[in-house]
Structure 1
Amino acid sequence: MSSKVLVFGGTTEGRVLAGYLRDAKIPHEVSVATEYGGEILRDTGENSFVVGRKNAKEIMKLIKSDDFTVVVDSTHPFATAVSKEIKSACKKTGVTYLRLKRNTDAGFDSDKLTVFVDTLEDAISELLPEKGVVLLLTGSKELEKITAGLSDVSRVYARVLPNEESISKCVDAGLKGKQIIAMQGPFSRQMNVALIKEVGASVILTKESGKTGGLDEKLEAARECGIRAVVIRDPEKLADSCDGHDIREVMEYLAKDFGVSSSDLNRILRSDSGSDAKATAPSNQKSEKSIVLAGVGPGDSSFFTNELQEALSNADIIFGAESVISRLEGINVPKISKYRGDEICEFLRENSEFKRPVAVFSGDISLCSGAKKAAEILESKGFNVVTIPGISSVTLFLKVLRVGLEDVRIVSAHGRNCNVSGYVRECENLIVLPSDMADAAKICREIEQYTDKIVIGYELGTCEEKVFEFDNNEDSFVNLPGKCLIYAHNAEALLRPVSGGISDDEFIRGKTPMTKEEIRTISLRKLALTPNAVFYDIGAGTGSVSVEAALTAPEIRVYSIEKKDTALALLKQNKEMFKASNMEIIEGTAPDALVDLPAPTHAFIGGSSGNMKSILETVLEKNRGARIVINCVTAETFSEVMGCVQELPVGEPDILQVWASRHKKVGGYHMADAINPVYIITLQGKQ
């Protein structure tokens, strides 16, 4: 009887086999080449694995390091060199070698649109006469060899895994920017079609990787788009190798070797029949409760991924919002109109007979979805949560707009406060997810003055789909019942300085004192504002510090506290002039004016009206870890602050005194015009 199984390969077959081994309680370890492969394994519930590429000598060392007596080679059919190293190591160590083979047959034969070739060199010869864009769907392994064989690398696009190694290989092959499409499959025919059209491909190059590798979906997409597909044949098939086994044969061998009964083996195999879903939703020895959270895409079933369809076919109950589960026609299991994690947990607790629940969400659960919160709740209740991404309506929208995903920023204003104007100000291309059409109209009116074009995509992917430019004089769309996306284009964003900083003469100043440009720059550096900061500017004056803070990042919330009428008027003017929509003016005297504000993460005190200690106490009471910067012009204010430091829960203060002089022309000379010396004191509250 054997002791332990060593499985090689980060392939789907390898993950399926690992799931079966866990179910059968057969001791095993999985070897994958990359950290990314390890992450995918971990997501399926596999905890016993090693990471790193290995030659024969290193494989021998691994085999000898533990009580391995059987090695299963489930590497990719095109990884022939790796298989050779594994075979060599097994032969030298005397352990049993089993090759888990993939069925790589395609549903298409050679014709004028689908060309099968034997080698990579043959494939390059087929691609050379092509004049248009070449889309590589072969992974990253041989990119450099492919681009070296083509005369014009600028017309080559490659879809690769979203990990550092794959992207690095793209760069080494001469690809850059939009030529690199980093995505994790599986990919449906519709998604392949969308990609082909997005890049304007005239030919695709792929490998004979079978159903598991999504070969048919690639070839179907190419035919639908009327372009050629060049397919490199499976090298194992060409070699007429007969030493491989399918997954049932491998499991039957291991079950016999490890004493697993025939009834238990049949139960394990029957539970999923070796399908791809086993790799994504295996049983987890740490938790008997498991649930799949899946995105159904933007429209009808034509946008369902293969992975989603597999999960739905295995489900014994389905949860989701009514508008989502109503799309699931022909699936004869209970459908429950619940999508919140706590509601699902409660239902499953009271109805324990359901063992294969699936919760569905609109669009792609990776993008601004309620699935994130549901997953947190379900995991806290002991569920093993498996996620399946879907096709996003953003993808369909960008296809219509002819804009690349890498060129846009996406923000969600769905049921939340979002400084859309701030994002528009700094982004040339912005996609906004509003709550509904009425919310979309409101957002469009707010940002119209900052944009040169606004486009609305309504009910994308459905028969109700509409794409139209926003017209403030036409509001008949406000009451439409469906969902939409907003695209905002701001060409001026490209002219926005990336260094930041505003000169004094850009502000409306009047006679109100203002924190000078040099002091302001150092003070903001000392504040070290974070992207989601809640910032108090106490004694805001003209608002120079408030405005600069607000423009640092759209997510920052700025509260400008000021008591003087003349200063309040300037604050409002500067806020409007700089379009600082994430800046709120608070009329009143600190600390009383701070009481109803949210707890600050950062505070700047430019004027205290003699209330320095009570202001500091109030800020620290609201947040003991707040970071505070104080400007002191007089020795008395400096002394007052240092006295407070001795009594308050703050760390050792950072004290900087700044002298600066600007030179102005006087006659034929340039004379120094000194700025008053200022103490800049930085305090960090103790948690």
Structure 2
Amino acid sequence: MRDKDKKVLIFGGTTEGRELASALLRAGVSHVVSVATDYGKEIENSCGEDNVIVGRKDADEMAKLISDEGVTVCVDATHPFATLVSGEIKKACEKSGVEYLRLLRDTGARALPAAEAYSSVEAAADELEKTEGNILLLTGSKDLKAIVSRISDVSRVYARVLPNLESITKCEEAGLKGKQIIAMQGPFSKDMNIALIKEIGASVILTKESGAAGGLDEKLFAAKECGIKAVMIKSPESVITSEGHSLTEILDKVGVKDIEAGIERKIITLAGIGPGDSRYYTRELEEALKKADVIFGAKSILERVDKSGIKAHFEPLYMGKDILEFLEKRGLGEDSARSGFHEGLVESGFHGREAKASYSEYKHPLALFSGDISLCSGAKSAAVIFGKAGYEVHKISGISSIALFANRLGLGLEDCDVVSAHGRKCNVTGYIVGSKKLIVLPSSCAHAGQIARAAQSENREAAVLAMPGEVGEAIRTPLRIVLGYELGTEAERVFEVTENELGNDIFSPDEKGKCLLFIENRSAGESPVIRGIPDDEFIRGKTPMTKEEVRAISIRKLGLSSDSVLYDVGAGTGSVSVEAALLHPDIKVYSIERNDEAIDLLEKNKEKFGADSINIIKGEAPAALEELPAPTHAFIGGSGGNLKAIIEQLKKKNENVRIVINCVTLETLTETLSLIKEMNFAEPDIVQLSASRYKKVGDYHMPDAINPVYIITL
């Protein structure tokens, strides 16, 4: 229930401030608007607002206004960059004991072209100084002097400002004159921005992160179309965590319902259409299809939709950013998207007339995705995009192809592992090794065939992936591989593929249908939970190898997790790389080695053990590390005399990288300890390992000592 005695004071001068005032006016809520200048008052009056107070005020003056007007709630709807004013408003509210609410502007990223963003005016101006050619300032007059003072050649600077005396005076004070001062009042469409860029021959624009309401979209799209650079000053509300509220949240806090305020919510529904035809529609989806006025989806999905009883327009778009752009353009007209936003007044926050909210002509948009939106679906990224754009996102789950496949096979999903290799790099072979029952989502039918062939090939080489009776004696159970093709459609096929059939292409390379794989590996449970590969199982040459006992402790000290990125520097035969890679299919290993013979051994051991997640890098560290993804862990078994440079490179790529170093010689130990002190590492973990293996000699078992090794963890 709304309090009839409640009175709202809006510190405005912005689009969002006027939208709030208009909503309160429609709802019959008592309010007053405070703006800084007479020009701002004219704009408010032109929007139908009569109760306007003019003048810049400090905290004490604001507190007096609050008291004189009997204000109970104060809304700060000033420009996002007006941080000093916001500070005064907060002080006035604290002094008066009234509630302070911050109305946030949507400056969140939509599907916009890239811009070089800086946290301060000074940093952005310094970037402009580095550029060549003319500069177009689209930031208003407030910070002109600070910006222009950092540009050595002022003659190449042009500024678009409001057509009033105050703005033009600030331009002249900054050193601009004549044609360098472009005094215009918005709104400014993308085409108007393009025309201005071409007129002055600009090579770079400067804008503020002022959101859609500040014409940011039109500026960035114009710069992109003209092929010039865009520099942006970040909004304080994105640089500093701001506590604030949206327009609808503010209205809710003052007891106004959307319908009373004439506010129309932007809503979109994201729905899973299921695995096949309309037999697998959920009741909720059927209702959404009937209600929708526009339906989005990939062409293949839209073709599957049962059109009976549906009056919606069909649009073959499936990327969230493309759907959003379509809806936004339909809301504002194809040729003047967001032309209602008056960017030219951004620095003061004033607009020539009230800007209408950009609601699409479509009130019930529906985006369709195959299967269930909770699994490997574009709905995930679409939901984020629409959420940032201020949409209320409704989600409808569908029947997943995985559930239907399990049903066809008579499986319980609780007994299966599921892995997606759809559109992403994935060590499927590693999952097959550790899973008794595995369902795989491939990228295509051809990809499914590749996975099946690779799985059987690795299974044939699986001497160490099952527990051998004796060293080198493989125990292998053939894999069972079943393919599910076009599930839920008239073309559905579920068939088992034998090892002999895998020699041929199961599908043509151009096959467009959807496919799933079920792989049963009855030997999976026979592999030890904690692996340990005997030295004799590795293919070896004359290349040194980290011994089994040393590997065990070194890998334990690394403390790898499933999402680790490990550098094995001086990888040798690859014994550490292989053991690390086999811990979990998602661990990414980069084996760095400069020796040709060692590279050959690395390749052979990678293939033998099915360690597909190993990436072999030929080269010498640290140079070979330059282009690699940042490591979470690093093992240094050999440094080639470059230990300091290697550690510096590792720390540069990730300050928190965990490093394990094996020191065999006293020289390496001494160098490592010196570097620890020099580079201010925390207290290291140091273990000295001496181990002996016993061999039978005649009637006795004699020790065969392994070289002592220091294992140092940083």
Q: CA deviation at 1:472?
A: 2.1
Give the gaps of 5 or more residues in structure 2.
Answer: 4-26, 28-254, 332-359, 460-477
- Are the aligned partners of 1:509 and 1:570 in contact in 2 as well (CA < 8 Å)? yes
How do 1:321-332 residues align onto structure 2 when only pairs under 5 Å count?
321-328=298-305, 329-330=307-308, 331-332=310-311
> Which residue pairs with 1:299 in the alignment?
276
How do 1:29-428 residues align onto structure 2 when only pairs under 5 Å count?
288-328=265-305, 329-330=307-308, 331-350=310-329, 351=331, 352-428=360-436
- Are the aligned partners of 1:554 and 1:582 in contact in 2 as well (CA < 8 Å)? yes
- Structure 1's 476 and 431: CA in aligned 2 closer, same or farther, altered over 3 A? closer
Of the three residues 582, 586, 592, the one matched with 1:561 is 592
- For residues 436-483 of structure 1, the C-alpha deviation after alignment (integer angstroms, 9 at most, x for no partner) is 122222222222222522221110000011122332244262233211
The one-letter code matched in structure 2 to 1:489 is E
- Are the aligned partners of 1:539 and 1:562 in contact in 2 as well (CA < 8 Å)? yes
C-alpha separation between the residues in 1 aligned to 2:533 and 2:412? 32
> Which residue pairs with 2:81 in the alignment?
none
> Which residue pairs with 1:542 in the alignment?
573
How do 1:406-485 residues align onto structure 2 when only pairs under 5 Å count?
406-449=414-457, 450=459, 452-470=479-497, 471-475=501-505, 477-478=507-508, 479-485=510-516
> Which residue pairs with 1:271 in the alignment?
none
- For residues 227-258 of structure 1, the C-alpha deviation after alignment (integer angstroms, 9 at most, x for no partner) is xxxxxxxxxxxxxxxxxxxxxxxxxxxxxxxx
- Are the aligned partners of 1:397 and 1:457 in contact in 2 as well (CA < 8 Å)? yes
> Which residue pairs with 2:635 in the alignment?
604
The one-letter code matched in structure 1 to 2:483 is I
> Which residue pairs with 2:227 in the alignment?
none
Identical aligned residues as a percent? 56
C-alpha separation between the residues in 1 aligned to 2:313 and 2:702? 84
C-alpha separation between the residues in 1 aligned to 2:443 and 2:603? 29
SS at match of 2:617: strand
SS at match of 1:491: coil
Q: CA deviation at 1:593?
A: 2.2
Q: CA deviation at 1:537?
A: 0.7
> Which residue pairs with 1:526 in the alignment?
557
- For residues 590-624 of structure 1, the C-alpha deviation after alignment (integer angstroms, 9 at most, x for no partner) is 12222232222211000001010111122222222
Q: CA deviation at 1:680?
A: 1.4
- RCO comparison, higher one (Cα < 8 Å, 6+): 2
SS at match of 2:675: helix
SS at match of 1:488: strand
- Are the aligned partners of 2:453 and 2:503 in contact in 1 as well (CA < 8 Å)? no
Q: CA deviation at 1:429?
A: 1.5
- Are the aligned partners of 1:427 and 1:493 in contact in 2 as well (CA < 8 Å)? yes
- For residues 39-75 of structure 1, the C-alpha deviation after alignment (integer angstroms, 9 at most, x for no partner) is xxxxxxxxxxxxxxxxxxxxxxxxxxxxxxxxxxxxx
How do 1:559-638 residues align onto structure 2 when only pairs under 5 Å count?
559-638=590-669
C-alpha separation between the residues in 2 aligned to 1:486 and 1:465? 14
C-alpha separation between the residues in 2 aligned to 1:502 and 1:469? 33
- Are the aligned partners of 1:558 and 1:584 in contact in 2 as well (CA < 8 Å)? yes
> Which residue pairs with 1:486 in the alignment?
517
Q: CA deviation at 1:502?
A: 1.8
- Structure 1's 649 and 317: CA in aligned 2 closer, same or farther, altered over 3 A? farther
The one-letter code matched in structure 1 to 2:271 is A
- Are the aligned partners of 1:412 and 1:433 in contact in 2 as well (CA < 8 Å)? yes
SS at match of 1:536: strand
Q: CA deviation at 1:673?
A: 3.5
- Are the aligned partners of 2:449 and 2:506 in contact in 1 as well (CA < 8 Å)? no
C-alpha separation between the residues in 1 aligned to 2:388 and 2:636? 42
C-alpha separation between the residues in 1 aligned to 2:628 and 2:398? 40
Q: CA deviation at 1:576?
A: 1.9
The one-letter code matched in structure 2 to 1:307 is E
Q: CA deviation at 1:574?
A: 1.8
Matched, 1:682 2:705: no
> Which residue pairs with 2:232 in the alignment?
none
- Are the aligned partners of 1:448 and 1:454 in contact in 2 as well (CA < 8 Å)? no
- Structure 1's 522 and 473: CA in aligned 2 closer, same or farther, altered over 3 A? closer
SS at match of 1:681: strand
Q: CA deviation at 1:651?
A: 3.8
SS at match of 1:511: coil
C-alpha separation between the residues in 1 aligned to 2:404 and 2:376? 16
- Note the aligned Cα RMSD (angstroms): 2.8
Of the three residues 688, 693, 697, the one matched with 1:657 is 688
The one-letter code matched in structure 2 to 1:621 is K
SS at match of 1:513: coil
Moved more, 567-576 or 603-612: 567-576
Aligned length: 409
SS at match of 1:369: coil
C-alpha separation between the residues in 2 aligned to 1:682 and 1:376? 40
The one-letter code matched in structure 2 to 1:472 is L
C-alpha separation between the residues in 2 aligned to 1:419 and 1:491? 19
- Structure 1's 633 and 295: CA in aligned 2 closer, same or farther, altered over 3 A? same
SS at match of 1:657: strand
SS at match of 1:597: coil
Q: CA deviation at 1:671?
A: 4.0
C-alpha separation between the residues in 2 aligned to 1:476 and 1:670? 56
C-alpha separation between the residues in 2 aligned to 1:662 and 1:530? 30
> Which residue pairs with 2:132 in the alignment?
none
Bigger Cα Rg:
2
SS at match of 1:335: strand
The one-letter code matched in structure 1 to 2:420 is S
Q: CA deviation at 1:542?
A: 1.8
The one-letter code matched in structure 2 to 1:333 is A
C-alpha separation between the residues in 2 aligned to 1:420 and 1:428? 13
C-alpha separation between the residues in 2 aligned to 1:544 and 1:655? 22
> Which residue pairs with 1:193 in the alignment?
none
State the TM-score, normalized to the length of structure 1. Answer: 0.56
C-alpha separation between the residues in 2 aligned to 1:662 and 1:632? 20
- For residues 5-58 of structure 1, the C-alpha deviation after alignment (integer angstroms, 9 at most, x for no partner) is xxxxxxxxxxxxxxxxxxxx9xxxxxxxxxxxxxxxxxxxxxxxxxxxxxxxxx
- Structure 1's 474 and 679: CA in aligned 2 closer, same or farther, altered over 3 A? closer
C-alpha separation between the residues in 2 aligned to 1:474 and 1:670? 54
Give the gaps of 5 or more residues in structure 1.
Answer: 4-24, 26-259, 269-284
- Structure 1's 614 and 303: CA in aligned 2 closer, same or farther, altered over 3 A? same
